[in-house]
Structure 1
Amino acid sequence: MAEAFAPMQGMRTSHSVKLVSQHSGHVSMIPSKPRLQRQGASRNLSNLLRATLSEGGSVEKKVDLAKVGTWFGATVVEVALLSAAMFAVQTIGGYLPPIGYKCLAILFFASMALKSRIFSILDASRPTMGEVQETKRPSWTPPPIVFPIVWSTIGILRTVSSVVVWEAVGRQMLVLPLIAMMTHLSIGDTWNNINNVERRKGSAVAGVAFVWTSVVTCTYLYWKTIPLAGMILAPSVLWLSIASVLIFNIWMLNGYEPILPYKSE
């Protein structure tokens, strides 16, 4: 009987207890102890979430719209400067023999593929080895020597594919596919400022999404212009896909910094 009664007691404790007043006959409900514990735990969880949001700045701090505007503005300015440079190359090329114009175009595309940041109004420096070592990275991160090799290779692919497009469109510079390439390079330079100079790992996650989208768009436009150019540029999409996953993992390993920049107190 005792064993059969034990479950019944357990069932009764999960409900409220009825108390009947001897004088008035009024019935009142008093929550049982387990229910009070659950309610207390719920309140504690709610308070913890509010405290976490407050500490993280999602509630009390304001998004630094000026900083976001600076990033977008710098990107637009760089695209404009690169477009002006392409116009200058095309103008000068008109006075040169065909082989001279082609050499000038190759030199321009190669320079922009590797050093487009000279047109950026932001500091788009590459990270130092010390900064790289200070950052927590996933175990599958490629060794440091891989990065300059890969980026140099991508620079060559950008140059060759751009020259192929340039030839296919009648040696015109200011055409949509080539402007898309300049936009991709400009977005990448702005991302370098966010990630390497300002070291905003959260904003770098959002920024690398723009970089990836721009290279996919550029590759599509190159392929649409002439499939060979799209195929030449395609490996850069693969590499930037890997790089995007790497940036996301670095963000997680280093404390989930805010995605958007917030104004400092």
Structure 2
Amino acid sequence: MATPRTKDIIALILLLVLCIGGGAVSGLLSPPGEWYAQLNKPDWTPPGWIFGPVWTALYAMMAIAAWLVWRKRSEKNVTLPLIIFAVQLALNFAWSPLFFGLQRPDLALIDIVLLLIAIVATIILFAPISRSAAVLLTPYLAWVSFASVLNLALWRMNL
């Protein structure tokens, strides 16, 4: 029988694999490609090489945040916060296929606005359970806020 510490380590590893692996799969299944290269872009569009390292760090922080909340399951009701976390993760994973795969910045914009709402809800729900978990999600919120504005600009510039 696994010890509580072993269960914690396994849970952390699974969450890291889910978040980082899911993000990687989403990105690999729908890479930017030629379509994105030909879009009109604002001057403040980050260089392509930055996205991989930023998302890897953000996915790791998301996994750790969820893990910190999951570890409190014996003390607090973590079901709703973790469900909302899963919803925002699904919205996150849907963005690349919508934007790059379907080449639909309009649908991706709807997705990313819903994602922002879900991230804020996750932070609000995580905060009373683990302040550290909520803080770990703030860079993610900032990056997705920026990505939302970029998504809007790309959509408008390429109508």
Q: What band does the TM-score fall into relative to the shorter chain?
A: 0.7 to 0.9
| Residue 132 of structure 1, CA deviation | 2.9
User: Is 1:191 the equivalent of 2:95?
Assistant: yes
Question: Among 21, 38, 43, which residue is 1:115 paired with?
Answer: 21
Q: CA RMSD in A?
A: 2.6
- Partner residue, 2:60: 156
| Amino acid paired to 1:101 | K
The 1-side partners of 2:77 and 2:38 are apart by 42
The 1-side partners of 2:151 and 2:10 are apart by 36
User: Is 1:102 the equivalent of 2:8?
Assistant: yes
Summarize the Cα distance change of 1:149–1:117 in structure 2 as closer, same or farther, 3 Å threshold: closer
The 2-side partners of 1:115 and 1:175 are apart by 23
| Residue 211 of structure 1, CA deviation | 1.2
Summarize the Cα distance change of 1:132–1:204 in structure 2 as closer, same or farther, 3 Å threshold: same
Summarize the Cα distance change of 1:160–1:210 in structure 2 as closer, same or farther, 3 Å threshold: same
| Amino acid paired to 1:164 | L
| Residue 107 of structure 1, CA deviation | 1.2
Summarize the Cα distance change of 1:157–1:173 in structure 2 as closer, same or farther, 3 Å threshold: farther
SS in 2 for 1:168: coil
Unaligned runs of 5+ in 2: none
Larger Rg: 1
| Amino acid paired to 2:4 | P
Q: TM-score if structure 2 supplies the norm length?
A: 0.88
Report matched runs for 1:10-49 at 5 Å.
none
Summarize the Cα distance change of 1:193–1:129 in structure 2 as closer, same or farther, 3 Å threshold: closer
User: Is 1:202 the equivalent of 2:106?
Assistant: yes
Q: Which runs of 4+ in 1 moved over 6 A?
A: 117-120, 171-174
Question: Among 157, 170, 173, which residue is 2:74 paired with?
Answer: 170
The 2-side partners of 1:224 and 1:116 are apart by 27
The 2-side partners of 1:202 and 1:142 are apart by 20
Summarize the Cα distance change of 1:124–1:223 in structure 2 as closer, same or farther, 3 Å threshold: farther
The 1-side partners of 2:77 and 2:110 are apart by 30
| Residue 195 of structure 1, CA deviation | 1.1
Do 2:76 and 2:129's aligned partners in 1 also have CA atoms closer than 8 Å? Answer: no
The 2-side partners of 1:174 and 1:124 are apart by 32
Greater RCO (CA < 8 Å, at least 6 residues apart) = 2
Identity score, percent: 22
- Partner residue, 2:39: 135
The 2-side partners of 1:173 and 1:99 are apart by 20
1:222-256 Cα deviation digits (max 9, x unpaired): 1122212101111110110000000000001101x
Higher helix share: 2
| Amino acid paired to 1:228 | S
The 2-side partners of 1:119 and 1:132 are apart by 19
The 1-side partners of 2:23 and 2:69 are apart by 22
